[in-house]
A = this chain, B = another copy of it.
Amino acid sequence: MPPKRTLTLRDVSEASGVSEMTVSRVLRNRGDVSVDTREKVQAAAKRLGYVPNKIAGALASQRVNLVAVIIPSLSNMVFPEVLTGISDVLDDTPLQPVVGVTNYRPEKEESVLYEMLSWRPSGVIIAGLEHTEASKAMMRNAGIPIVEIMDVDGEPIDAMVGISHRRAGRKMAQAIIKQGYKRIGFMGTKMPLDHRARKRFEGFTEALAKEGLEVADQEFYSGGSALRKGREMTEAMLKRTPDLDFLYYSNDMIGAGGLLYCLDQGIKVPQTIGLAGFNGVELLEGLPRMLASMGSERNEIGRLAAQIIARRAAGAEASPDDSIELSPKLQFGDTLKRRNS
């Protein structure tokens, strides 16, 4: 049975006959240490299987190389991609991401934030601009860089990186109108707490209104297999409102379900009915037709957010460049353009 107590610097010090302080220097590659002692120490540490105690280190140095990343969900395809962007950038720094999930619940966000801040991370990357007052207060008082991501329709506490979902909704509406579609149905999540979906919808209806149009039918879902929901909602909606000529989905997964349904039914896409989703997920590439969509720049958002944190952690001052609006790119795919050009 291995030792119950875990090893300390002192154990390595004793095993190598070098002072704790010098052992510490070697293990952190700090300061000048003679090659001789360095090797002696490393050998001893390795032999004993010493793992440093970051808790003690952090307390003494007042430095923690953790970055809190707070997101609403992991099952959304979207957030893992953001995380990938963050990881890729932080891999080149001493910083490490720590992920917390809120399930789209503000109170849960608040408690996750509290937990994470109590570990004194070097920075926070958090999805969205909407938070409880208590959460905002905590972030303002934390004294560390805070980057709010995904959305730029609002005022950041510190820095922000994202796209304007309102603008994205408008842009999609305009593209649809330009193709001559007029009877438009909308399907999306029920979640009142998905502010970004809400903003897209608002931008969408707003742009339709400007052309004297409005959403002819709409339906919202929650939970379950998004692909199947898309299929089911599409069927229900087309039965209820048969004269629709376009279906706009608030995410690609339900859009894909809708597309599969239409193809199944032999509905001519995009002649009889046009379709579009949102997010530009990889999945679309494997469908029989490529669903029109709008990329949400997830990886890039993650990268940029991580860069801001890294820069600040390295001593940079807050700067106006720390608020970045990316432009979502419209992908026509095969389901939006009615004629050539």
Interface of A is mostly: helix
User: Are A225 and B286 neighbours in the complex by a CB distance under 8 Å?
Assistant: yes
Q: With an 8 A cutoff between CB atoms, is A257 at the interface? A: yes
**In the complex, chain B residues whose CB is within 8 Å of the CB of A164:** none
A239 to chain B, nearest CB (A): 18
User: Are B75 and A81 neighbours in the complex by a CB distance under 8 Å?
Assistant: yes
Q: With an 8 A cutoff between CB atoms, is A54 at the interface? A: yes
Q: With an 8 A cutoff between CB atoms, is A138 at the interface? A: yes
Q: With an 8 A cutoff between CB atoms, is A180 at the interface? A: no
User: Are B143 and A2 neighbours in the complex by a CB distance under 8 Å?
Assistant: yes
- Give the contacting residue for A115; candidates B49, B96, B118, B283; CB below 8 A: B96
Stretch at the interface among A123-131, A168-176, A226-234: A226-234
Residue of B nearest to A98 (CB): B98
Q: With an 8 A cutoff between CB atoms, is A30 at the interface? A: no
Known contacts A81-B75, A118-B54, A120-B53; is-contact A285 B228 (Cβ 8 Å): yes
User: Are B120 and A285 neighbours in the complex by a CB distance under 8 Å?
Assistant: no
- The CA of A77 and the CA of B54, in the complex, are separated in Å by 32
Known contacts A55-B58, A142-B6; is-contact A264 B288 (Cβ 8 Å): yes
- The CA of A325 and the CA of B53, in the complex, are separated in Å by 34
User: Are B137 and A52 neighbours in the complex by a CB distance under 8 Å?
Assistant: no
Cβ < 8 Å to B, chain A residues 223-277 = 224-231, 256-257, 260, 264
Mark A residues whose CB is within 8 Å of B. Answer: 2-6, 49, 51-56, 58-59, 64, 74-75, 77, 80-81, 83-84, 87, 96, 98-99, 101, 114-115, 117-120, 137-138, 140-143, 224-231, 256-257, 260, 264, 282-283, 285-288
A-B contact pairs, 7 of them (CB 8 A): A6-B120, A6-B142, A49-B137, A56-B59, A98-B99, A227-B286, A260-B288
